[in-house]
A and B are shown apart, each in its own frame.
Chain A
Amino acid sequence: DTGVSQDPRHKITKRGQNVTFRCDPISEHNRLYWYRQTLGQGPEFLTYFQNEAQLEKSRLLSDRFSAERPKGSFSTLEIQRTEQGDSAMYLCASSLAYAYTFGSGTRLTVV
């Protein structure tokens, strides 16, 4: 097991386009989280899943954002009609019990 994998590592998109990121958690971890991190700040919680159920969403997750974890394994985060303010690092993490493991993130640049 190579840990939490995120794809792509980098994404440059034009404003108004839709983007989708993928996260593959550690296989036995039943909880999966998405965080967003902007330059100079710590990561901010967006949402989390227990198995396939999305149990909590932050107010940061506007209507343009949607996350899924259809089979309780990998997850996708989609941003529709991207805005320049969406430029950030999107981090995925997974856990079993209380130990988090983060992926290396997807860096999104909206131009």
Chain B
Amino acid sequence: LAKTTQPISMDSYEGQEVNITCSHNNIATNDYITWYQQFPSQGPRFIIQGYKTKVTNEVASLFIPADRKSSTLSLPRVSLSDTAVYYCLVGAKGNEKLTFGTGTRLTIIP
């Protein structure tokens, strides 16, 4: 599985757009990029998944450049409730083992 690198932590103010970038230089052709969110004392929650270009859902956007060696999770107009750890994962669909790194601890400041 491709290894991912993310910032350990980030701070942002309420109402701002937050972009968290993940590096995955060794991503394979059949790998997808998936982001999870985890609150304290809860399990991770799926946010978004993509293969290339841009994916948007009601929660976030995912930007993937043409070389796919990195990806950026974009959270629009964050609120205090977005304070969480965000994990970037890469792997083939159908791969039964999710491999989590240490994630990015995002803190939203009032």
Q: Which residues of A contact B (CB under 8 A)?
A: 4, 31, 33, 35, 40-45, 48, 55-56, 58, 89, 91-93, 98-105, 107
Q: Would you call B45 and A33 a contact (CB within 8 A)? A: no
Q: Would you call A100 and B98 a contact (CB within 8 A)? A: yes
Residues of chain B contacted by A48 (CB below 8 angstroms): 96-97
Residues of chain A contacted by B87 (CB below 8 angstroms): 42
Q: Would you call B103 and A91 a contact (CB within 8 A)? A: no
14 contacts between A and B (CB under 8 A): A41-B100, A43-B100, A45-B99, A56-B97, A58-B97, A92-B43, A93-B43, A99-B46, A100-B46, A100-B98, A102-B43, A102-B44, A102-B45, A104-B43
User: Complex Cα distance A42/B4, Å?
Assistant: 12
8 Å CB contacts to A: which residues of B62-110? 87, 93-94, 96-103
Lowest 5 A-B CB distances belong to which pairs?
A102-B43, A42-B100, A45-B97, A91-B43, A98-B93
Beta-carbon nearest neighbor of B91 in chain A = A98
Q: Would you call B41 and A104 a contact (CB within 8 A)? A: yes
Q: Which residues of B contact A (CB under 8 A)?
A: 41-46, 87, 93-94, 96-103
Interface SS of A by simple majority: strand
Q: Would you call B94 and A45 a contact (CB within 8 A)? A: no
B24 to chain A, nearest CB (A): 15
Residues of chain A contacted by B98 (CB below 8 angstroms): 35, 43, 45, 100
B48 to chain A, nearest CB (A): 12
A22 to chain B, nearest CB (A): 15
Residues of chain B contacted by A92 (CB below 8 angstroms): 43
Interface centre among B44, B93, B102 (most CB of A within 10 A): B44
Q: Would you call B43 and A33 a contact (CB within 8 A)? A: no
Q: Identify 14 new A-B residue pairs, CB closer than 8 A, beyond the known A42-B87, A44-B100, A56-B96.
A: A31-B96, A33-B96, A41-B100, A41-B102, A42-B101, A45-B97, A48-B97, A91-B44, A92-B43, A99-B46, A100-B98, A101-B46, A104-B43, A105-B43
